[in-house]
Structure 1
């Protein structure tokens, strides 16, 4: 089967804190003829200037910090789709752009929230969950010298469970917390734990704590912790279950009333903690690496261009 030629319209993401689409692009390069476009422009002119006409045009979320501004998108009849990350960002504007630009294929990270907030676009949804690069998020075989680890935002109205866990544990001698560095460029002083160092710190933890926010988003931290062979204690959902996050098998589901009791139980029960953590790591290796997700995306695109 000949390689697809894909035009990926995206801002450069390699220096962002959250680099999922950068890693996705690197995997797409291995299995397709991928061309990037990083700056604002007129899409018909961009297509005319390409030496090879693309089979498919992929946008990175139609969001200013992810994707350059494109004019006259609807005038280009090549099949088009967009990655959809931050669902809660300017919902009415997103809907207008999907309709105006005639972008029929929506590769969505969060299934249930999309169905709730974008019901008129459900038929255009293709579920493409989070993923992690296996060369970074892995078992480094480090000593498990951190009992309980938490990393990331504690915004009260978004992450109430995360904040509740922090408040309960902040004086516990085995608890470590690292602040959220933001979502854009890496700070010049690089005082935050990011990139491989972030994954290595996760790998040192016996237990990692997070939650899926008030929106019930299966956020990236769920995948990252499991990939690093660390026991994840976090809130659950039906969507997480469909992704393979099974309570007491690949992670441990907690809520505001039982998280402390479960933390103490799994700190004392090393064999059970290790069993679940190993299962979780295997789940990510088998279903949620960036290479797997890139191949799934290409399979979807292959079906679209055949129509």
Structure 2
């Protein structure tokens, strides 16, 4: 059987959904050719490929294209930001002449795109964020990693300050602004609890949800749209709705680590069974083979 081939066009870095999805396609047996800055489709044997997948890469310039009008295979654009990059992503959807837009979150924005847009959430990068170590053996009690820009994360900053005030004397805490890839996986894998707090005004799914649970920690998070379609509160993770609720739940689960372990393990196993990037790659491959 001839190996399936996929074109991927994105500004590649080592810790983006594009990189994780590229790895996943290779893991399921798809050959991937990647263009990171420019592609001239008149120089590509398009009949060898099943589709072209463009991926939003905010940290690098968009991939420039030439002769995209020659592309007669599905053109898909995967975006992973919402309101803060809406105008740019609409422009890119036009530029890439996308047939389908995949959205990691923020489905309420789908109406703004010129073609159908579907939910295609983040997932567990199981080659990196994968740690089933028991909570009782982990040296850190509470970890939070993420940007602390007061323009976007006043609620996160406030919550962290309250956590420090209440728990610093009795528990080991770990807070970081910028940690990536294997260092990030190590930090989560050493912690019993991982705290996730979305931005103040843009409530959306983020990578931290899948990274924390994938590393076997108990994830405590505020609620964001579509989360309940992927994971269940009290079964796979724990939701909080205020700072006081968060503090109470932290205290409860740190003094009931056996219960925390049950939820953390269920979340970890649920991701492995349903929500890895290999699952996303297989779903997209099936979508392509059905003609979009």
TM-score when scaled to structure 2? Answer: 0.87
Q: How does 1:195-210 map to 2 (within 5 A)?
A: 195-210=181-196
Whether the aligned pair in 2 keeps the contact of 1:131 and 1:220 (CA below 8 Å) is: yes
Whether the aligned pair in 2 keeps the contact of 1:20 and 1:132 (CA below 8 Å) is: no
Among 270, 276, 288, the residue aligned to 2:263: 276
Q: Which residue of 2 aligns with 1:135?
A: 127
Q: Within the alignment, does 1:155 sit opposite 2:149 as a pair?
A: yes
* Structure 2 counterpart SS, 1:236: coil
Query: Per-residue deviation at 1:303?
Result: 1.6
Whether the aligned pair in 2 keeps the contact of 1:235 and 1:254 (CA below 8 Å) is: yes
- Displaced runs of 4+ in structure 1, greater than 6 A? none
Quick check: 148-157 or 217-226, which moved more? 148-157
Query: Per-residue deviation at 1:175?
Result: 4.6
Structure 2: segments with no counterpart, 5+ residues: none
Among 160, 166, 183, the residue aligned to 1:166: 160
Q: How does 1:92-241 map to 2 (within 5 A)?
A: 92-110=87-105, 113-115=106-108, 117-121=109-113, 124-139=116-131, 141=133, 143-171=137-165, 172-173=168-169, 174-181=171-178, 193-213=179-199, 214-241=201-228
Quick check: 124-133 or 73-82, which moved more? 73-82
Whether the aligned pair in 2 keeps the contact of 1:139 and 1:203 (CA below 8 Å) is: yes
Q: Which residue of 1 aligns with 2:16?
A: 19
Q: Which residue of 2 aligns with 1:81?
A: 76
Does the C-alpha gap of structure 1 residues 100 and 292 become closer, same or farther in structure 2, counting only changes over 3 Å?
A: closer
Whether the aligned pair in 1 keeps the contact of 2:93 and 2:113 (CA below 8 Å) is: no
Query: Per-residue deviation at 1:281?
Result: 0.8
Q: Deviations over 1:197-256 (max 9, x none)?
A: 321221221111112323221111111111111111110135111012x22111111122
Does the C-alpha gap of structure 1 residues 299 and 3 become closer, same or farther in structure 2, counting only changes over 3 Å?
A: farther
Quick check: 294-303 or 95-104, which moved more? 95-104
Does the C-alpha gap of structure 1 residues 204 and 90 become closer, same or farther in structure 2, counting only changes over 3 Å?
A: closer
Q: Within the alignment, does 1:44 sit opposite 2:30 as a pair?
A: no
Among 276, 284, 287, the residue aligned to 2:274: 287
Following the alignment from structure 1 to structure 2, what is the Cα–Cα distance between the partners of residues 114 and 266?
33
Q: Within the alignment, does 1:300 sit opposite 2:287 as a pair?
A: yes
Q: Deviations over 1:89-120 (max 9, x none)?
A: 4423422332354212112110xx232x3314
* Structure 1 counterpart SS, 2:192: strand
Query: Per-residue deviation at 1:280?
Result: 1.0
Following the alignment from structure 1 to structure 2, what is the Cα–Cα distance between the partners of residues 161 and 277?
25
Following the alignment from structure 2 to structure 1, what is the Cα–Cα distance between the partners of residues 240 and 89?
34
Does the C-alpha gap of structure 1 residues 141 and 64 become closer, same or farther in structure 2, counting only changes over 3 Å?
A: closer
TM-score when scaled to structure 1? Answer: 0.83
Following the alignment from structure 1 to structure 2, what is the Cα–Cα distance between the partners of residues 44 and 230?
45
Structure 1: segments with no counterpart, 5+ residues: 182-192
Query: Per-residue deviation at 1:84?
Result: 0.7
